[in-house]
C-alpha cells in the first residue's frame, strides 16, 4: 500500500502538575492510510481526545508533547512553530468537534465562515469561493443550499449545524479530518445521518478520517480500522470486524460485553419464555402509578403587554399522555431531545405542576391538596448528572441522611448514621465514605451515592431520568445491575427515562415512546422492540448504531 | 461486599495543607507579604492597650510642652516618641495604634452588616425571581448609580437628625457602621443573586424540593454554602473600601467623635500641620491607612484568582 497519510510514532503527552507529572498519552504509535476511517475508542480519561489535540499541535501548558514523530504525508508536523501550524490546521487537517454550537461563530453567516476558510487556503475569488461553498453544503445534504448559505448558525438545527461543520472541515480539501465525538451531542436519528454524510464525503474525496468516540456503535457503523485506548495506552489495534467479533485483550472483551445491545431480548422476557410462561400475563394487574391525559404548556410570551393583548406564544411540551406502571415493574420512557420526557418526570415527581391531567399513585392524585406528604415519602428521583445532583459542600453522610431527616424517618444521630452506613453498603460503597465530600468520588460512585439518597426515604416509586447517560459503558453496566438488584430487594417500581434504547430494552417491562410531547406507542417491551407499530418507533430503532451489525 | 474501597478520609489540617488554595498561597509572594503586613497591623490594633507606650486619650498624661516633638527623639520633659508627637504632645505611635483599632472595628462591622444584608436580599431575589427580584435589584441599581460615599453621607445626616443630641456622641460609631454598611450592600446582592440563579437550577436543589425541604432551608443549607466563595472575595476587597470610607468620613469631620479618633481623624488633624514642617503627624497615620487598605486589597485580589480556576 502507499504511504500513510498520518503516521504517529511514540507520541506521549505529559502534564506537569503540582503533584508530579501526569502522562495522559503513553508512547502510542499508529498510521492512517489514505481514504481510511480510523476509529479511536475508549472511556473517559483514556487519552483519545488528547491524541487528536496533540496531532493538531494544540496542547497548552502545563501539557507538553514529550516525545513524538508525527508525519503528515511525509512532512514532520510536530514541534513546528505556531505560524506553520496555523497553515496546516484547516488547510491540511480539518476538524469536527462535538458541539456544533460552539464550533461555529454565531455572529457570522455560515457562508461567510465557509468562504473565509476557502479563500484563506485556496486561490479562488469571492464568487468562485461562494459557488464552492454552496456545492459543499449541497454535498453535506443541506436542502436548498443557495439560500441557506446566508443563514446564521442559530437558524440551523443541531444536525444541520453539524453538517455545516463537516463542510467547513472539508472546505480546504484537507488530507486528514479529525472528528472528535462528532455525533455525541445529537439524537440517534440525526446521528445516523451525520455518520453517513461524514463517511460518504470522505470516501468521495479520499480523505483520511480519525474518528474519536466513546460509542462503539458509531465506530462499528463508520470505521474501517480501530484503536482501543485505555489510560493513555493503546490496548488493541485491528480491523473493526476483528476487534468487535474476536477481541483479544481482556479490557476490550470487558468493554464490548458491557455494551447493551439493541437487538438483545429483555433478559426477564427471555427467561419467562424459556420457562414456558407468557411474560405479559405474569406481570399485570396491580397498577401503582396511573398517568392520565397528562399535559404541560409553557407560556413563552415575552412581555406583560403581549400577555394582556393576547398575543401569547404557547408551547405544548407534553400533550395528553396516559400510561400505567405496574407495581414492581420498570416502565421505560424513550424519545429524542425535546420530546417531553423530562417534563413528564418533573410533573410525576412533584417539581412541576401539570397544566392538565392527573398523576395517581395508589389512587391518590399526587397534585391534590393534602397529598404532599404521601408524594414526598413514596416518590423519589435519580438525576442524570451526578456532578450537579449532589451538593458539593455537603458530606456524603449528610446528603444521604437528608431525606430521612426531612421526612422524620429517623431522628437520633446514632440511628441515622447506622441507616446511612447500611445504605452505603447496599450500593456497594464503603461506609467510611460518609465522612467524605462528593468531589472525592468518580462519576459512577457519585451515581451510587445518589441512588442511596433516593432509597433513604424508603420510596416505592423511583423516577430515573437518564441515570447512566453521563457514565462510561462499563460503569453504566454496573449501575444498571445495581438498580435491578435493588428493585428486587426492595420491590421498587421504576420509571426509566432514557434516550438509549438498548438500555431501556434491557431494563424495562413496558415501554412508552414519546415524540414531540405525544405518546406515540406504549406497551410491553418485547412488543414495542420486536414488532413496532408506529413509524416513528421503527425509525428510531433502525437509527441506533449497533456493534452486532458488523459482519 | 464492597468492591470499591476508598482511602480513609484525611484529617482537617492535612486537607487544608494539601488544598489547592493553600498551594496557591504558598507560591504567591504577594499573598504572603500582604497577609503578614495585614496580620501585624491587625494584631497591633487589637493589642493596642498593651503595646502603646502612652495612653493618648488620657488628658492627664498629656503635656503641652511635649508638642511637636519630631520622630525618634526625646521631648522637653524627657519622654521618648518613636514617631513624634502632635500639637497637644500626644504620642503619634500610640494614637495610630488606637486609631487603627477604631478604623478596623468600624470597617469590619460595616462590611459584615453589608454582607448580611446583601447576601440575604441576593438569595431571596435570585431564588424567588419575578417581581421580588425586580424590586430588590432595581433598588440596588439605583443605589449603585450614586457614589457610595454620598449615600453614606446622606444616611449619616438623616441618622444624626433622628437621634437626640445627648446620645449623638455614644451612637456616632453605630451610625457610621450603619451608613457605610448600607451604602455597600448592593455589590453583595448582585453577585449572590447571579450565583443563586445558577445554583437554583441544579439537581441537588430539585432533590431537596422533592422531599419537601422548605425554601428557607434550601436557601440557607444548600445554596448559601455554594455562593459564599465570591462573597468572601468581594468581602475582603470591600473591607479595604470600608476602611477607606470610614477614613474619608472622619476626615470630613462627620465620622467618629473626636474623643475616639480613627486613622481618618488623625489624618485630618495632621494635614493642618503639613505645611508648617511637622510632616510626621500626617505621614504616619496616612501610611498606616495605605498599608492596611493595600494589604487587604491584595489579599482579596489573590483570593479571587485562587478561587477562579479559569485564571489559574
Q: What per-residue confidence (pLDDT) applies to B1?
A: 37
Q: Please list every residue in chain B whose beta carbon sits closer than 8 Å to the beta carbon of residue A407.
A: 211-212
Q: What angle do CA A22, A26, A30 make, to 5 degrees?
A: 150
Q: What is the mean pLDDT of residues B138-162?
A: 85
Put simply, whether B131 touches A (Cβ < 8 Å) is no
Q: Measure CB to CB from residue B211 to each of A407, A440, A445 and give the nearest one.
A: A407
CA distances from B11 to A435, B8, B16, B20 (A): 11, 9, 9, 16
Q: Tell me the pLDDT band of B117, cut-offs 50, 70 and 90.
A: very high
The residue among A255, A253, A101 whose CA lies nearest residue A186 is A101
CA distances from B2 to A255, A392, A454, A486, B9 (A): 22, 24, 20, 15, 17
Contact A547, A244 (CB under 8 A): yes
What is the spatial distance between Cα B201 and Cα B198, in angstroms, rounded to a whole number? 6
Residue A281 has pLDDT above 70, yes or no: no
Q: What per-residue confidence (pLDDT) applies to B189?
A: 94
Q: Measure CB to CB from residue A436 to each of B6, B20, B213 and give the nearest one.
A: B6
Which chain A residue shows the shortest CA-CA distance from B205?
A389
Q: What per-residue confidence (pLDDT) applies to B9?
A: 54
Q: Please give the CATH number for the structural domain made up of B27-49+92-311.
A: 1.10.3720.10
Rounded mean pLDDT of chain A? Answer: 86
Put simply, whether B222 touches A (Cβ < 8 Å) is yes
Give strand pairing partners of B91.
B85
Q: What per-residue confidence (pLDDT) applies to A404?
A: 92
Q: What per-residue confidence (pLDDT) applies to A269?
A: 79
Contact B247, B262 (CB under 8 A): yes
Three-class DSSP labels, A31-76: EECCCCEEEEECCCCCCHHHHHHHHHCCCCCCEEEEEEEEEECCEE
Give contacts of B 5-24 with A, CB under 8 A.
5-6, 8-9, 20, 23
Give strand pairing partners of A296.
A318
Q: Tell me the pLDDT band of A309, cut-offs 50, 70 and 90.
A: low
* Residue A434 to chain B, least CA–CA distance (Å): 9
What is the spatial distance between Cα A286 and Cα A289, in angstroms, rounded to a whole number? 9
Does the distance separating the beta carbons of B5 and A428 come in below 8 Å? no
Q: What is the DSSP letter of A122?
A: S
Does the distance separating the beta carbons of B204 and A381 come in below 8 Å? no
- Could you give the residue ranges of the DSSP H alpha helices within A396-466? 396-407, 413-426, 443-456
CA distances from A23 to A55, A180, A232, B19, B129 (A): 16, 20, 7, 22, 46
Give the length of chain B: 312
Q: What is the mean pLDDT of residues A367-388?
A: 89
Looking at A390-394, A547-551, B100-104, B198-202, which range is the least confident one? A547-551
Q: What is the mean pLDDT of residues A383-403?
A: 91
pTM exceeds cut of 0.90: no
Q: DSSP for chain B?
A: --S--PPPPPPHHHHHHHSHHHHHHHT-HHHHHHHHHHHHHHHHHHTHHHH-SS-TT-GGG--GGGTTPPTTEE-TTS-EETT-B-TT--BHHHHHHHHHHHHHHHHHHHHHHHHHHHHHHHHHHHHH-HHHHHHHHHHHHHHHTS-HHHHHHHHHHHHHHHS-HHHHHHHHHHHHHHHHHHTTHHHHHHHHHHHHHHHHTSHHHHHHHHTT--HHHIIIIIIHHHHHHHHHHHHHHHHHHHHHHHHHHHHTT-SS-TTS--HHHHHHHHHTSGGGT-THHHHHHHHHHHHHHHHHHHHHHHHHHHH-GGG-
CA atoms within 13 A on the CB side of B208: 24
Q: What per-residue confidence (pLDDT) applies to A282?
A: 46
CA distances from A344 to A190, A333, A354, A408, B293 (A): 23, 9, 9, 28, 55
Residue A396 has pLDDT above 50, yes or no: yes
Q: What per-residue confidence (pLDDT) applies to A74?
A: 81
The tens digit of pLDDT for each residue in B155-206 reads 888 887 888 888 777 788 888 888 888 888 999 999 999 999 999 989 999 9
Q: Please list every residue in chain A whose beta carbon sits closer than 8 Å to the beta carbon of residue B209.
A: 350-351
The tens digit of pLDDT for each residue in A178-208 reads 998 888 877 887 888 888 888 888 888 888 9
Contact A93, A55 (CB under 8 A): yes
Rounded mean pLDDT of chain B? Answer: 83
3-state secondary structure of A353: coil
Residue A1 has pLDDT above 80, yes or no: no
Contact A184, A98 (CB under 8 A): yes
Does the distance separating the beta carbons of B225 and A383 come in below 8 Å? no
3-state secondary structure of A217: helix
Which chain B residue shows the shortest CA-CA distance from A453?
B207
Looking at A95-99, A229-233, B286-290, which range is the least confident one? A95-99
Q: Please list every residue in chain B whose beta carbon sits closer than 8 Å to the beta carbon of residue A406.
A: 208, 211-213
Q: What per-residue confidence (pLDDT) applies to A86?
A: 83
Does the distance separating the beta carbons of A429 and B2 come in below 8 Å? yes
What is the spatial distance between Cα A504 and Cα A544, in angstroms, rounded to a whole number? 13
The tens digit of pLDDT for each residue in A60-75 reads 777 888 877 888 888 8
* Residue B111 to chain A, least CA–CA distance (Å): 24
Q: What is the mean pLDDT of residues A277-305?
A: 73
Q: What per-residue confidence (pLDDT) applies to B220?
A: 92
Q: What per-residue confidence (pLDDT) applies to B4?
A: 43
What is the spatial distance between Cα A153 and Cα A111, in angstroms, rounded to a whole number? 10
Put simply, whether A406 touches B (Cβ < 8 Å) is yes
Percent of chain A at pLDDT exceeding 70: 95
What is the spatial distance between Cα B121 and Cα A71, in angstroms, rounded to a whole number? 60
- What is the biggest distance separating any 2 CA atoms in chain B, rounded to whole angstroms? 86
Each as own residue / partner, the long-range contacts of residues B173-178 (CB below 8 Å, 24 or more positions apart, any chain) are B173/B102, B173/B105, B173/B106, B173/B256, B173/B260, B176/B106, B176/B110, B176/B246, B176/B249, B176/B255, B176/B256, B177/B106, B177/B109, B177/B110, B177/B113, B178/B110, B178/B113
* Residue B192 to chain A, least CA–CA distance (Å): 17
The residue with cell 392527573 is: A358
Q: What per-residue confidence (pLDDT) applies to A310?
A: 64
The residue with cell 481526545 is: A49
Return the C-alpha cell found at A312: 401569547
ipTM: 0.80
Q: What is the mean pLDDT of residues B213-239?
A: 90
The tens digit of pLDDT for each residue in B67-116 reads 667 776 776 666 677 777 777 777 888 888 888 888 899 999 999 999 99
Looking at A438-452, B13-27, B182-196, B241-255, which range is the least confident one? B13-27
Return the C-alpha cell found at A281: 400475563
Pairing state between β A37-41 and A63-72: unpaired
Q: What is the mean pLDDT of residues A29-43?
A: 89
Q: What per-residue confidence (pLDDT) applies to A262?
A: 79
Domain residues of chain B, as ranges?
A: 27-49+92-311
What is the spatial distance between Cα B195 and Cα B254, in angstroms, rounded to a whole number? 37
Residue A342: in which H helix or E strand, if any?
helix A341-349
Pairing state between β A225-230 and A233-239: antiparallel
Give strand pairing partners of A236.
A228
**Could you count the other beta carbons within 10 Å of the beta carbon of residue B166?**
8
Q: Tell me the pLDDT band of A504, cut-offs 50, 70 and 90.
A: very high
Q: Tell me the pLDDT band of B312, cut-offs 50, 70 and 90.
A: very low
Q: What per-residue confidence (pLDDT) applies to B130?
A: 86
Q: Measure CB to CB from residue A388 to each of B4, B204, B210 and give the nearest one.
A: B204
Q: DSSP for A474-499?
A: HHHHHHHHHHHHHHHHHT-EEEEEES
Q: What is the mean pLDDT of residues A253-270?
A: 82
3-state secondary structure of A158: helix
- What is the biggest distance separating any 2 CA atoms in chain A, rounded to whole angstroms? 79
Residue of B199, B204, B218 to mutate when probing chain A, most A C-beta within 10 A:
B204
What is the spatial distance between Cα B39 and Cα B105, in angstroms, rounded to a whole number? 15
Q: What angle do CA A76, A79, A81 make, to 5 degrees?
A: 105
Q: Measure CB to CB from residue B206 to each of A351, A429, A445 and give the nearest one.
A: A351
Q: What per-residue confidence (pLDDT) applies to B281?
A: 79
The residue with cell 395508589 is: A362
Q: Please list every residue in chain B whose beta carbon sits closer than 8 Å to the beta carbon of residue A457.
A: 211
Residues 6+ apart with CB under 8 A from A361: A288, A289, A374, A375, A378, A379, A461
Contact A191, A163 (CB under 8 A): no
All domains of chain A in start order, with CATH:
33-57+81-258 (3.40.50.300), 267-302+312-549 (3.40.50.300)
Beta-sheet strands, E only, within A151-273: 176-180, 208-213, 225-230, 233-239
Q: What is the mean pLDDT of residues A127-151?
A: 88
* Residue A390 to chain B, least CA–CA distance (Å): 5
Residue B309 has pLDDT above 70, yes or no: no
Q: What per-residue confidence (pLDDT) applies to A301?
A: 65
Q: What is the mean pLDDT of residues A445-454?
A: 93
Contact A254, A79 (CB under 8 A): no
Q: Measure CB to CB from residue B208 to each of A350, A402, A436 and give the nearest one.
A: A402
Return the C-alpha cell found at A187: 439524537
pLDDT higher for B75 or A424? Answer: A424
Q: What is the mean pLDDT of residues B280-294?
A: 87
**Could you count the other beta carbons within 10 Å of the beta carbon of residue A285?**
8
What is the spatial distance between Cα B174 and Cα B159, in angstroms, rounded to a whole number? 10
Q: What is the mean pLDDT of residues A350-373?
A: 89
What is the spatial distance between Cα B230 and Cα B187, in angstroms, rounded to a whole number? 11
Percent of chain A at pLDDT exceeding 90: 25
The tens digit of pLDDT for each residue in A271-280 reads 777 776 655 5
Q: What per-residue confidence (pLDDT) applies to A217?
A: 85
The residue among A219, A210, A217 whose CA lies nearest residue A179 is A210
The tens digit of pLDDT for each residue in B240-286 reads 889 888 888 888 877 777 777 888 888 888 888 877 777 887 888 88
Amino acid at each position: 500500500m502507499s504511504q500513510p497519510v498520518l503516521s504517529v510514532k511514540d507520541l506521549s503527552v505529559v502534564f506537569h502538575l503540582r503533584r508530579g507529572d501526569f502522562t495522559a498519552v503513553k508512547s502510542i504509535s499508529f498510521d492512517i492510510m489514505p481514504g481510511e476511517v480510523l476509529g479511536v475508542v475508549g472511556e473517559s480519561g483514556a487519552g483519545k481526545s488528547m491524541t487528536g489535540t496533540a496531532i493538531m499541535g494544540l496542547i497548552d501548558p502545563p501539557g507538553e508533547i514529550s516525545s513524538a514523530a508525527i508525519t503528515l504525508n511525509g512532512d514532520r508536523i510536530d514541534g513546528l512553530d505556531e505560524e506553520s501550524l496555523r497553515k496546516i490546521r484547516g488547510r491540511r487537517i480539518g476538524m469536527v468537534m462535538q458541539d456544533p454550537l460552539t464550533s461555529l461563530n454565531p455572529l457570522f453567516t455560515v457562508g461567510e465562515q465557509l468562504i473565509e476558510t476557502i479563500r484563506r487556503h485556496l486561490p479562488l475569488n469571492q464568487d468562485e469561493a461562494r459557488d464552492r461553498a454552496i456545492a459543499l453544503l449541497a454535498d453535506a445534504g443541506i436542502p436548498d443550499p443557495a439560500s441557506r448559505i446566508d443563514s446564521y448558525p442559530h437558524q440551523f438545527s443541531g444536525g444541520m449545524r453539524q453538517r455545516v461543520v463537516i463542510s467547513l472541515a472539508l472546505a480546504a480539501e484537507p488530507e486528514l479530518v479529525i472528528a472528535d465525538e462528532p455525533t455525541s451531542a445529537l439524537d440517534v436519528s440525526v446521528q445516523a445521518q451525520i455518520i453517513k454524510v461524514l463517511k460518504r464525503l470522505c470516501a468521495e474525496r479520499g480523505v483520511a478520517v480519525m474518528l474519536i468516540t466513546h460509542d462503539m456503535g458509531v465506530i462499528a457503523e463508520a470505521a474501517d480500522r480501530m484503536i482501543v485506548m485505555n489510560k493513555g495506552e493503546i490496548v488493541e489495534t485491528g480491523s473493526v470486524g476483528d476487534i468487535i467479533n474476536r477481541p483479544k485483550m481482556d479490557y476490550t472483551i470487558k468493554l464490548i460485553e458491557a455494551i447493551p445491545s439493541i437487538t438483545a431480548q429483555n433478559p426477564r422476557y427471555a427467561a419467562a419464555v424459556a420457562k414456558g410462561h407468557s411474560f405479559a400475563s405474569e406481570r399485570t394487574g396491580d397498577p401503582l402509578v396511573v398517568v392520565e391525559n397528562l399535559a404541560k404548556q409553557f407560556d413563552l410570551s415575552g412581555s406583560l403587554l403581549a400577555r394582556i393583548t393576547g398575543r401569547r406564544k404557547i408551547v405544548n411540551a407534553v400533550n395528553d399522555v396516559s400510561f400505567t406502571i405496574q407495581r414492581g415493574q420498570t416502565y421505560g420512557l424513550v424519545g429524542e431531545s425535546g420530546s417531553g420526557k423530562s417534563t413528564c418526570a418533573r410533573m410525576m415527581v412533584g417539581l412541576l405542576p401539570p397544566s392538565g391531567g392527573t398523576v395517581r399513585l395508589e389512587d391518590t392524585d399526587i397534585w391534590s391538596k393534602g397529598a404532599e406528604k404521601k408524594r414526598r415519602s413514596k416518590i423519589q428521583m435519580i438525576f442524570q448528572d451526578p456532578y450537579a445532583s449532589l451538593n458539593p459542600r455537603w458530606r456524603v453522610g449528610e446528603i444521604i441522611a437528608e431525606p430521612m431527616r426531612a421526612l422524620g424517618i429517623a431522628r437520633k444521630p446514632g440511628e441515622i448514621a447506622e441507616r446511612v452506613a447500611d445504605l452505603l453498603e447496599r450500593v456497594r460503597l464503603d461506609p467510611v465514605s460518609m465522612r467524605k465530600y462528593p468531589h472525592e468520588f468518580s462519576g459512577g460512585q457519585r451515581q451510587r451515592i445518589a441512588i442511596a439518597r433516593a432509597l433513604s426515604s424508603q420510596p416505592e416509586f423511583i423516577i430515573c431520568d437518564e441515570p447512566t447517560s453521563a457514565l462510561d459503558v462499563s460503569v453504566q453496566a454496573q449501575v444498571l445491575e445495581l438498580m435491578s438488584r435493588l428493585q428486587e430487594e426492595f420491590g421498587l417500581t421504576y420509571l426509566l427515562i432514557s434516550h438509549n434504547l438498548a438500555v431501556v430494552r434491557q431494563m424495562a417491562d413496558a415501554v412508552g415512546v414519546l415524540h414531540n410531547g405525544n405518546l406515540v406507542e406504549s406497551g410491553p417491551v418485547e412488543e414495542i422492540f420486536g414488532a413496532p407499530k408506529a413509524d416513528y418507533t421503527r425509525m428510531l430503532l433502525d437509527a441506533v448504531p449497533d456493534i452486532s451489525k458488523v459482519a | 461486599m464492597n468492591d470499591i474501597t476508598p482511602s480513609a478520609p484525611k484529617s482537617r489540617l492535612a486537607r487544608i495543607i494539601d488544598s489547592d488554595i493553600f498551594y496557591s498561597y504558598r507560591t504567591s509572594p504577594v499573598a504572603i507579604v500582604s497577609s503578614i503586613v495585614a496580620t501585624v497591623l491587625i494584631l497591633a490594633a487589637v493589642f493596642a492597650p498593651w503595646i502603646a507606650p502612652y495612653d493618648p486619650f488620657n488628658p492627664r498624661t498629656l503635656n503641652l510642652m511635649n508638642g511637636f516633638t519630631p520622630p525618634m527623639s526625646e521631648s522637653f520633659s524627657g519622654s521618648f516618641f518613636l514617631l513624634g508627637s502632635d500639637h497637644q504632645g500626644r504620642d503619634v505611635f500610640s494614637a495610630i495604634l488606637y486609631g487603627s483599632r477604631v478604623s478596623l472595628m468600624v470597617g469590619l462591622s460595616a462590611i459584615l452588616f453589608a454582607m448580611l444584608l446583601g447576601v440575604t436580599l441576593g438569595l431571596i431575589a435570585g431564588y424567588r425571581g419575578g417581581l421580588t427580584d425586580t424590586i430588590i435589584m432595581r433598588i440596588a441599581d439605583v443605589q449603585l448609580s450614586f457614589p457610595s460615599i454620598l449615600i453614606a453621607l446622606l444616611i449619616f445626616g438623616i441618622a444624626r437628625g433622628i437621634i437626640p443630641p445627648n446620645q449623638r456622641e455614644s451612637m456616632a460609631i453605630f451610625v457610621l457602621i450603619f451608613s457605610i454598611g448600607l451604602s455597600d450592600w448592593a455589590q453583595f446582592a448582585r453577585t449572590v443573586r447571579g450565583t443563586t440563579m445558577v445554583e437554583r437550577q441544579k439537581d441537588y436543589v430539585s432533590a431537596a424540593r422533592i422531599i419537601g425541604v422548605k425554601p428557607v432551608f434550601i436557601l440557607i443549607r444548600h445554596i448559601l454554602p455554594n455562593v459564599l466563595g465570591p462573597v468572601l472575595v468581594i468581602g475582603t476587597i470591600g473591607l479595604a473600601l470600608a476602611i477607606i470610607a470610614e477614613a474619608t468620613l472622619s476626615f470630613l469631620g462627620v465620622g467618629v467623635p473626636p474623643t475616639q479618633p480613627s486613622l481618618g481623624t488623625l489624618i485630618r488633624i495632621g494635614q493642618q500641620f503639613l505645611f508648617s514642617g511637622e510632616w510626621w503627624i500626617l505621614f504616619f497615620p496616612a501610611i498606616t491607612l495605605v498599608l492596611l487598605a493595600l494589604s487587604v486589597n491584595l489579599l482579596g485580589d489573590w483570593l479571587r484568582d485562587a478561587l477562579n480556576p479559569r485564571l489559574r
